[in-house]
Structure 1
Amino acid sequence: MSQPSIHLHTLTSTDGSATYTSPTSSHTITSGISYPLEVQFRSKELPEDTYIEVILIPHNAVSQVKERHVEEVVRRVLKSIVRGEETPRCMLQCTLQVTDAEVDESLPGGVKGPGQGGSYLEMLAGAVNCAVAGCLDGGVQMRSVAGAVVVAVMKDGRVRVWPTLKERKLARSLHVFAFNTDGHCLLMESEGSFEVEEWERAGEAARRVVTGSGTDADVDVDMNEDTQSLLDVMRRAVEARVEKDGSWKDD
């Protein structure tokens, strides 16, 4: 099974940043984290919490309904893991830029990205992972680390993790699950037609890929002893960043 690629501190003018590339190279997203900031509008100040703002910029268009929904979902995931009480009346701003997307050869001329009529779930999983990685690089105080994965349930009932563009088009349903380091589910988003049993199998497969454990024996996930879980990939990215700079965060 191919694995995602995460590199920290890819931008120099932000408090934290990361670049995430999906395992199927379907998209590359760069995040920029600014934290803590003064809240621009007093009406958004939270007296005992941190206001979180997420901005998603697509690679070739202006943000529309799909991007607005992804922004809100990512914001809710960050809200569940960030220790907002440590910086009350402040703001955490997360900007996500889609820098590259796969080309759909089945469309005339080849079109990058699924467009507003396509599924947003592949981009959602990448946006969650890139935002969390950026927060790690920026030294944002968090209760735990989280990762998200997209899963496809094919027409024959097989469960495919990190499906390709062709597999996503042929799938009966698509799902995104996010789990934290304790294995608790933070996010569930689904599209298509599926049975409860298929949804549970997809969730167990996603848990295995994100955390490295917890999959039932009847769920087929292509992971061997050398395959890293998504949270391990993030951990290795942090270790590489610390080893390179000799410190957690620049002074």
Structure 2
Amino acid sequence: MMGGPIASLHPLSRADGSASYKCPSTGSNVLGSVNAPVELPGRRDALKPEDATIEVFVKPGTAPSGVGERYVEGILRGALSRIVLGREKGYPRRGVVITLAILGGESIGRGGSYLPLLPALLHTSILALLSASVPLSMSLSATMLAVNPSGEIVRKPSITDARAAASLHVLAFTSKGHLLLSESEGRFNFDTWDKVYENALAVCHGTSTLSSDGDVAMTENMDTQPLEGFVRDTVEDHIRAEYAWKVDAA
């Protein structure tokens, strides 16, 4: 059985926040840093008077950035801008700078699809933002599903599965269970997309029920933990390790 993702918080000492994330199924290995709130020199004309400006930079490991990186940066910026509370004190007219370096896994050639890397980039971003204590309205979790030529949905598709798929789908959900992002490639119909949605929601949230505060209460999903629970556990484990001395001294 293929293991789940591996993540850690604050691997970089000189960033306000940072995270690393590795997805075994695709081999995606991403290191991310966040600096916020910061001045954005030379961009005063682009600053928002009442909100923070989100900047995202994707750096491929062995090649210069190109059109593919600019495209996925736009996707990430749009999704993250919806959950960053950029109007909190100290953030308006300043920037939240997210840098994502692709360290390993199969490289994306020029003109290749970035969908297999998108969940890892999203998870690294949200963990780095949490590490930097950037105010957020909610967290997120994301997954990629493949639909093979027979119409079967493949969870945790490998790069080989993705290349052979009739269609690929990346969906991200907020911690409240709302669809935040949907990106698809290939040919599919509405019935297929509905099945993809239900499977993606199960992967991210498992069997879910709404709690009194509107958040999603998660349970175990088949043989693996829901991704939303993985994100929360990663943050909780880091906090527990950071403040273990206080617990021991109590």
What range is the shorter-chain TM-score in?
0.7 to 0.9
Q: Secondary structure at the match of 2:24?
A: coil
> Normalised by the size of structure 2, how large is the TM-score?
0.88
> Aligned pair 1:127/2:130, yes or no?
no
- Residue 89 of structure 1 corresponds to which residue in structure 2? 93
Match of 2:162 among 147, 164, 168: 168
Rounded Cα–Cα distance in structure 2 between residues aligned with 1:205 and 1:176: 11
C-alpha RMSD of the superposition: 1.7
Aligned length in residues? 230
Distance, in Å, in 2 between the alignment partners of 1:176 and 1:82 is 21
Could you tell me which amino acid in structure 2 is paired with residue 42 of structure 1? R
Bigger drift between 90-99 and 194-203 goes to 194-203
- 2:150 equivalent in structure 1: 156
* Residue 247 (structure 2) pairs with residue 243 (structure 1): no
In the alignment, residue 76 of structure 1 is paired with which amino acid? G
2:141–2:173: 8 Å Cα contact kept in structure 1?
Answer: yes
After TM superposition, list the pairs within 5 Å mapping 1:43-62 onto structure 2.
43-62=45-64
Relative to the length of structure 1, the TM-score reads 0.87
Partner of 1:28: 29
Deviation at 1:21, TM superposition (A): 0.5
The Cα shift of 1:162 comes to 1.9
CA deviation profile, 1:166-198 (whole Å, cap 9, x unmatched):
111111000110100111111111101111111
Contact 1:6 1:233 in 2 (8 A): no
Q: Is the 8 A contact 1:50 1:91 kept in 2?
A: yes
Distance in 2 between residues matched to 1:25 and 1:200, nearest whole Å = 24
Code of the residue aligned with 1:94 in structure 2: it is I
Paired residue type of 2:47: E
Matches of 1:196 and 1:15, distance apart in 2: 43
Are the equivalent residues in 2 in contact too, given 1:59–1:101 (CA < 8 A)? no
Letter in 1 for 2:166: R
Q: Which residue of 2 aligns with 1:110?
A: none
SS of the residue corresponding to residue 79 of structure 2 reads helix
Task: Quote the residue 1:200 is aligned against.
Answer: 194
Deviation at 1:25, TM superposition (A): 4.7
Aligned counterpart for 2:229 among listed residues 227, 232, 236? 232
Which residue of structure 2 lines up, in the alignment, with residue 219 of structure 1? none
| Structure 1 residue 2: Cα displacement | 3.5
- How far the C-alpha of 1:117 sits from its partner, in A, is 3.0
Aligned pair partner of 1:177 in 171, 176, 183: 171
Give the alignment partner of residue 111 of structure 2, picking from 117, 120, 142.
117
**Contact 1:146–1:179 (CA under 8 A) maintained in structure 2:** yes
Cα distance in 2 between the residues matched to 1:2 and 1:183 = 24
Q: Structure 2 CA distance, aligned partners of 1:233 and 1:23?
A: 14
Q: Which amino acid in structure 2 is aligned with residue 48 of structure 1?
A: E
Q: Secondary structure at the match of 1:61?
A: coil
CA shift, 1:22, in A, is 1.0
The runs of 5 or more residues in structure 2 that have no matched partner are 210-219, 245-250
Secondary structure of 2:130's aligned partner: helix
CA distance in 1, matches of 2:47, 2:67: 25
Alignment correspondent of 1:108: none
1:29 match: secondary structure: strand
Kept after mapping to 2: 8 A contact 1:152/1:167: yes
What is the aligned-residue identity percentage? 36
SS of the counterpart of 1:141? coil
- Report SS of the residue matched to 1:70: helix
* Stretches (4+) displaced over 6 A: none
2:214 matched residue in structure 1: none
Deviations 1:110-137 (A, max 9, x none): xxx2312322101112111110110011
8 Å Cα contact 1:204/1:214 also seen in 2:
no
